[in-house]
Amino acid sequence: MKVRAMLWTVTMAYSGFLLTGQRTFNNLSITEGSLGALTGLLLAIMFTLRERRRHRPGLITYDIAQFLPHWGTESERRSSHPKLGS
């Protein structure tokens, strides 16, 4: 996580600085570098959380038949309902 966060932050800060098109440090280049660093940090956090979520089991990891073993196996008793016409 630490290496990923550092790489993304530095890379995005540098790309933000390059996108200004200026070779000197002024308010615009510092702002763009800071925004790039913030974007890189957020991307690193997002990718780390995504990787952790992939390794975690899903919401439904068991078969429904384990919880409801007799679900749908009982026949319906139709004799309790009165028949029409008799």
* Overall average pLDDT of the 17-32 stretch: 85
Q: What is the pLDDT, as a whole number, of residue 19?
A: 84
- Measure CA 8 to chain center: 18
Whether the Cβ atoms of residue 1 and residue 43 lie closer than 8 Å to each other: no
User: pTM score, two decimals?
Assistant: 0.57
Which sign does the torsion angle of CA 16, 20, 24, 30 carry?
negative
Q: What is the pLDDT, as a whole number, of residue 8?
A: 86
Show the DSSP H helices in 1-86 as ranges: 2-19, 27-55, 64-67
The model's confidence at residue 85, banded by pLDDT at 50, 70 and 90, is: low
d(CA 15, CA 35): 10
